[in-house]
Amino acid sequence: MRIVMKFGGTSVRGDGFRRIHEIVSRHLPENQVVVVVSAIKGVTDELIDAAHRARRGDEREISEFLDRLVDSYMELVEVSLGREHLNEAFGIASKLKRDLERVLFGIMYLGELTPRSLDYVAGYGETFSAKVGAFILSKLGLEAVGLTGKEAGIVTDDTFGDARILLNATRYSARRAIEPLLEAGKVPVVGGFTGATQEGVMTTLGRGGSDYTATALGAALDADQVWLWSDVDGIMTADPRIVPNARTVPELSYREAAELAVVGAKALHPRALEPVWDAGIPVYVRNTFNPNGPYTVIHGKEEVNEKVVKAVSLIREAGIITVYGPSMVGAPGTAAKVLEVVGSTGTNIMMIAQSASESNISIAVRRTSLDKVYSALERELVSRGVLRSVEVEDDVSIVAVVGAGMKGTPGVSAKIFSAVAERGINVIMVAQGGSEMNISFAVKAEDADEAVRAVHDAFRLGEA
Amino acid sequence: MRIVLAGYGNVGRSLHRMLEERRRELLRRYSMDAIVVAVIDRGGAAVHWKGVPYSEAAAAKDSEGTVAAGVHGRRGVTVLDLLDEVEADVYVDTTLPNFTDGQPSLSYMERAISRRMHVVTSNKAPMALAMPALLEVAEQKGVRLLYSGTVGGGTPFLGMASEALRGNRIRAIRGVLNGTTNYVLHRMETEGVSLEEALREARRLGYAEADPRIDLSGLDSAAKLVILANHAMGSNYTLSDVRYSGLEGVTPGDLREAAKRGKALRLLADSRRLRVGLEEVDSRSPLNVPANLNSVEFEVEELGSIYLIGRGAGGPETAAAIMRDLVQLNAAQPRR
């Protein structure tokens, strides 16, 4: 069997590579394993921060930062292997450090940080993890080879910061890069989150991009399975900090998992399922710290069983903007104008609802975007008389209820809303997509946790 | 439309001559002003922004073996150098196929695409090995990649599928895609000559490639099957997905014996099973074509079978296919 295993930022820190070694070697040599690693948790943010500070011209801080970065990876080596291999590892880390240093100084001298150079810097944590990680795994007895995303053949478009993987091009180049290693019994250790354009310019895939790297490699290499190792027991029915009796969802379809990824199940990159969907490669979400514990399988089978609702997710820090205007009634194109103005601010719309009376439209967005959306609507549409008024409600949370079984099952929304109403919670706005896989509703932020618990209890998600 | 033309064999020079001879006609009929700003072969390039004259390049090639020997010649220049340096709209690749890794043509095409030039190719190796990847990259860069000349020489098998039958559903494609092997089989069947003898004849007539193994093993047909199937049916195959065999072990006796039963043995490529191999067809089937012809059956929903028959190779023929691609590009391009 050929398996791609991705280890997240909490799975690589500390003595993480010892655990990775244990997990991977348990599956060798009967299987071929490709390892994908993230940066140590927190490092990507520090790299981005360092790039911004370099632009502001603080030379001393660059050197200090680079030393800290090398130290944090040396710590991994020491914890996993003891002191005896530190010198050798330091050689590897120093070389990477020198490359990064050159780029940071370049940014400093130019006083300019382009999306392109930011990506180069931001992806370096994964490069460190891959190269140093492969070193540790080799000393522990695996024939590991460290590769950057670029070296592994991940080809992307040039949307820096949120690049999309070109799957056909990646299939072509990743096979050439990785298959010979697998055939020779080696374990490729690939830095996640990064790739390169066709011209070889480094790009990054957006937050959680290592999942996306893993599934893309899975599809490119015709893997049998993709395993995403993180620090939670798979995908949960709800956030266990809110709902103490939340459980691991044993199975999800690609569609359900994709819905959940978008509405905030932190275990998954929203685009991560695209590559494996058509090929039908199952994705396992597992916990490095509890490798024999419960896990989630995401696959193509859409089982509509007794569990109509699979999970409840919460998006905090949202706001609602409602636009009113008598002229909207029966005036085609007003909705389009509103959306165009919202879109022009670069804001992502999370929910949208319009009553049949057409007298108002409500839009839910992230709270951080509220101000710019509000002012754009006032400036562009209220001032010109297209709208009468715009009202803002901040301090809102969105509860998303997901499950393929909701489709065609009558009474699901009745059950949701009566459960919420019984706890005295007022629902501000409701939206359901035509897929009927997801009902989302907005409540006051202070009611959010209780609303999640209400739905979780009503559908008995805490029970096996 | 400024063109960089790589490869100056039969196909390349036929195209160069055609573009020059038909310049006025192309302008009048298609508003297409095609200028070959550079030609290049293994020895180097000839470059001129107003157009490299055909007479110059052809004479240089004939006398000294490279287009770089003329007045506008530059010896030792590579295609990659040229693509970086010359301002052009289209890169035309007529280099010879290398089925091991598609190189060097594959990297030429990639470079042209990343320089945002359209690519027209008659080299089937890179397409058969990396067609999905190349098309994806071209789309991402906003350029076109056209390849009519890779299948069927000048006979428009690809255009039949994507243009004439546009909007219909093609369920399967089957056919004779290699002229050399068909000629060999035909001679063995009708004259009773051995495979080796028939192959010698094919060579004398200029049908066989320098390395006949590519034809005889079924590899050439397999490459064309990949391109034709992907083009007509939107699949994402590459050469490694095709199972192929060729004329190994076939004797005149086998062919005659089949003929007695009203059958003919043909080297058939079949999209359904994605394979190439010797198969019996009815003697009266349009797939049983003589000499070095190609024949393809398109099985179309509602229509049944449609056949297209024509010569499957040749310099001027393949150049004619490239000409169609260029005219198509010109029609799609905003006027500059």
Question: What is the structure's pLDDT at A324?
Answer: 87
**ipTM for the whole complex:** 0.79
Which residues of chain B does A198 touch, with a Cβ-Cβ cutoff of 8 Å? 110, 113-114, 137, 140-141
Fold of B2-153+316-332: Rossmann fold (3.40.50)
Contact A319, A394 (CB under 8 A): yes
Q: Testing the interface with B: which of A159, A172, A175 to mutate, by most B Cβ within 10 A?
A: A172
pTM, entire model: 0.84
Contact B136 A169 (CB under 8 A): yes
According to CATH, what is the number of the domain A2-230? 3.40.1160.10
pLDDT in tens, chain A (464 residues): 999 999 999 999 989 999 999 999 999 889 999 999 999 999 999 999 999 999 988 888 888 999 999 999 999 999 999 999 999 999 999 999 999 999 999 999 999 999 999 999 999 999 999 999 999 999 999 999 999 999 999 999 999 998 999 999 999 999 999 999 999 999 999 999 999 999 999 999 987 899 999 999 999 999 999 999 988 888 889 988 899 999 999 999 998 888 887 766 566 777 889 999 989 999 999 999 999 999 999 998 876 666 788 899 888 889 999 998 766 666 677 788 888 899 888 888 888 888 777 678 899 998 888 999 999 999 888 888 888 889 999 899 999 999 888 877 888 889 999 999 999 999 999 988 766 788 999 999 999 999 999 999 999 998 87
Cα B208 vs. chain centroid, distance in angstroms? 14
Domain boundaries, chain B: 2-153+316-332, 158-312
Secondary structure class of B277 (helix, strand, coil): strand
**CB count in 10 Å sphere of residue A415:** 17
Cα B46 vs. chain centroid, distance in angstroms? 24
At residue B137, φ and ψ (nearest 5 deg) are -65, -40
* CATH 3.30.360.10 applies to domain B158-312: yes
Which residues of chain A does B130 touch, with a Cβ-Cβ cutoff of 8 Å? 172
Question: What is the structure's pLDDT at B336?
Answer: 45
Domain boundaries, chain A: 2-230, 311-458
B50 is catalytic: no
Contact B243, B253 (CB under 8 A): no
- A443/A399 Cα distance (integer angstroms): 8
Of the CA atoms within 13 Å of residue B279, those in its CB half-sphere come to 17
Q: In this predicted model, what pLDDT tens digit does every residue of A364-416 receive, in sequence order?
A: 998 888 999 999 999 888 888 888 889 999 899 999 999 888 877 888 889 99
Which residues of chain A does B137 touch, with a Cβ-Cβ cutoff of 8 Å? 155, 166, 169, 198
Q: Give whole-number Cα distances, B180 to B122, B183, B215, in Å.
A: 18, 5, 7
The pairing of strands A187-191 and A296-299 is unpaired
The pairing of strands A32-37 and A187-191 is parallel
Contact B236 A168 (CB under 8 A): yes
Question: What is the structure's pLDDT at A338?
Answer: 87
pLDDT (average), residues B282-302: 95
- A358/A351 Cα distance (integer angstroms): 17
Q: How far is B93 from chain A (nearest CA, A)?
A: 20
According to CATH, what is the number of the domain A311-458? 3.30.2130.10
Same fold, A2-230 and A311-458: no
Contact B137 A169 (CB under 8 A): yes
Q: In this predicted model, what pLDDT tens digit does every residue of B191-200 receive, in sequence order?
A: 999 999 999 9
b (16+ CB within 10 A) / e for B3-26: bbbbbbebbbbbbbbbbbebeeeb
Q: How many CB pairs under 8 A join A and B?
A: 30
Question: What is the structure's pLDDT at B56?
Answer: 96
Residues of B with CB under 8 A from a CB of A: 110, 113-114, 130, 132-133, 135-137, 140-141, 236, 238
Q: Testing the interface with A: which of B83, B101, B106, B136 to mutate, by most A Cβ within 10 A?
A: B136
Q: How far is A105 from chain B (nearest CA, A)?
A: 29
